[in-house]
Chain A
């Protein structure tokens, strides 16, 4: 797979992730569901694992986080957009590190259900809690007002909030790993228009949504 295809894949999966965070996340939140937990435990992990299966290259998920975080940054709905954007970027990076350290690109070392579920639990918990902690450091730092005592006082809460996400990840990751024959067979003539079209749709929809609700 050439670099251009790789970057187009990163763009489309990052855009889909960002779109779900901007559009679907607030819907869960408005309905009274814990949107952060659902978005990371289900949507983010599905996109991250499926993209790693489709594009077996290192750096893909970190890049997806940057794309999704950038899309979240321009969407000022559903709470703190700076905090959420930073969390998403951190989540992509943390996922990349976890999967780089514990799996091979072809996932052949994940041959048992114990390992698949274990990876789901560990990655979901670490990605969610890690993203949360990173944003609690970087957001105040952006305003020059980071105090370690503020972070420590809430650390038990952050560590506790990851538990439900770990259980969601125990289902999501094995599910995404168990889907058979995940291959991208689009020819170049279709691949680029499709990936760029889906990405453009996500960005235009989010920006249009912002205009509709602010004007």
Chain B
């Protein structure tokens, strides 16, 4: 239905989105300043790891993506070292410092790598799954 003569609703709609956007911006900034994230560690399956330690422990692998060659350690090796009870029947939620998160399964984990810059690459998945600045990998069984 065309809202003929109802143009007065337009300023109201504009004000509504401005309020929503402003409150969300304040919330995001407040949340970021109160977060106490250690930039050098990642929490994987409830265990804290220094990124440098992970790279000393596991060997580097290079994979080909549509964004070029990427080098890192295999996510599957890292996760198996944390004693995941049932790798194939678990899901893995990868969380970034800004709250962004994506969930993948074991088939995806087997093809993914974690880089020194704390970014995941999955050559077979959309870039939306390439999480940057990772702070946690949660295992849900």
Contact = CB atoms under 8 A, between A and B. Distances in A.
Given A83-B128, A156-B27, A160-B24, A122 B17 contact: yes
Interface string A84-124: 00000000000000001111100001110011011111100
B22 interface: yes
B21 A163 contact: yes
A30 interface: no
Interface centre among B4, B10, B98, B101 (most CB of A within 10 A): B10
Contacts of A100: 2
Interface string B117-141: 0000000011111000000000000
Contacts of B108: 145
Contact of A118 (B10, B27, B95): B10
A104 B2 CA distance: 7
Given A80-B126, A153-B101, A109 B7 contact: yes
Interface residues of A, number: 42
Contacts of A102: 3, 6-7, 9-10, 13
Given A76-B66, A109-B7, A157-B98, A150 B21 contact: no
A51 interface: no
B69 interface: no
Contacts of B45: none
B38 to A, nearest CB: 20
B7 to A, nearest CB: 4
17 contacts: A102-B7, A109-B4, A110-B10, A115-B11, A117-B14, A121-B17, A122-B14, A135-B128, A140-B102, A145-B104, A145-B105, A149-B103, A150-B93, A150-B102, A153-B100, A159-B24, A163-B25
